[in-house]
């Protein structure tokens, strides 16, 4: 028998397969289809301080080997997540969950983590995944995830609010992602997850206008897998904290490649939108694929 368990920032999970934020809702929707406790864990929908409707529609555009999305962090806000979403999840998921946190200022990131960490539902949360790809409206629209100093400031602010592991989710839309990863590690981040989506766009040939109302969107799916693999490889060599590989993962073989590149765990994103059973199937297939390639454990 192979051993699929991994240690993610001090917490042992049954396998390294983690549905990515934004593709798995708050979990209980998928629990209607299968027992989601087969997963290592999952990262729930990006949560902000206040409710967000998100961007105008259309928000999704298909493209070869992937998709573009410009959803815009639609979510009910942290108070409703605590009051409504997590109690529903607690009834169907009996493992630590990864809380994905988004914000538009350093203070907002810190406040969302503070409210989650001090809530009655905090025992459900194993890790905080901090998405630093959002615009910093307090700093002229610059993204936190493209500036090492600003990324470090977010880590520092969030670190004051919790003793739980902090995993920083980084953007691929930078020249050197390892510089940002190292800055996060220096300020106390416990892990790095990458990559978020690559910026892209499509046009409607009939109208001559962009397919997305937001004009540009994030490219995900198999098309980004080689880029994600390269960035995971570089980052894993640059830091001494766990790296979670994300980007185009759609099979157990892809999981193994990510692990060979240095990932401790792997998130599955767009594949969940194509096939709601994708993550379950990867978990199911993983032992046989490990055995095929002579891997007894991670």
The residues that are catalytic are: 134
Task: Determine the Cα–Cα distance for residues 76 and 237; give it in Å rounded to an integer.
Answer: 38
3-state class percentages of the chain: helix first, strand second, coil last, to nearest 5: 35, 20, 40
DSSP class per residue in 265-281: EEEE-THHHH-TTHHHH
- Which residue is listed with tokens 């969940």? 272
Q: Helix, strand or coil for residue 20?
A: coil
Under a CB-based contact definition with an 8 Å cutoff, are residues 227 and 66 in contact? no
33 burial via Cβ count (<10 Å: 0-12, 13-18, 19+): exposed
Task: Determine the Cα–Cα distance for residues 29 and 36; give it in Å rounded to an integer.
Answer: 10
Task: Determine the Cα–Cα distance for residues 191 and 179; give it in Å rounded to an integer.
Answer: 14
Residues linked to residue 98 through DSSP beta bridges, in sequence order: 43, 127
**Residues in the chain, total:** 298
How far is residue 39 CA from its own chain's centroid? 15
């Amino acid at each position: 028998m192979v051993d699929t368990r991994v240690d993610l920032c001090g917490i042992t999970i049954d396998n390294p397969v983690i549905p990515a934020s934004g593709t798995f809702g708050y979990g209980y929707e998928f629990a209607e289809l299968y027992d989601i406790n087969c997963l290592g864990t999952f990262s729930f929908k990006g949560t902000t301080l206040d409710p967000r409707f998100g961007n105008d529609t259309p928000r999704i555009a298909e493209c070869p080997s992937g998709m573009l999305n410009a959803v815009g962090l639609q979510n009910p806000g942290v108070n409703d997540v605590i009051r409504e979403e997590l109690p529903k999840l607690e009834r169907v998921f009996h493992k630590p969950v990864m809380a994905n946190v988004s914000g538009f200022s350093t203070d907002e990131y810190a406040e969302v983590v503070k409210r989650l960490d001090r809530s009655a539902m905090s025992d459900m949360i194993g890790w905080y995944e901090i998405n630093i790809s959002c615009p910093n409206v307090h700093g002229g629209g610059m993204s936190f995830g493209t500036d090492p100093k600003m990324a470090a400031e977010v880590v520092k602010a969030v670190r004051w609010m919790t003793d739980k592991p902090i995993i920083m989710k980084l953007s691929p839309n930078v020249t050197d992602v390892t510089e940002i990863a190292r800055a996060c590690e220096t300020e106390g981040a416990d892990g790095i997850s990458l990559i978020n989506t690559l910026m892209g766009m499509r046009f409607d040939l009939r109208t001559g206008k962009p397919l997305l109302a937001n004009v540009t969107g994030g490219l995900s799916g198999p098309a980004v897998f080689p880029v994600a693999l390269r960035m995971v490889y570089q980052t894993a060599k640059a830091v001494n904290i766990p790296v979670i590989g994300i980007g185009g993962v759609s099979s157990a073989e892809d999981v193994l490649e990510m692990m060979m590149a240095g990932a401790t765990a792997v998130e599955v994103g767009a594949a969940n939108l194509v096939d709601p059973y994708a993550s379950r199937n990867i978990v199911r297939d993983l032992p046989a694929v490990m055995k095929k390639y002579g891997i007894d454990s991670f």
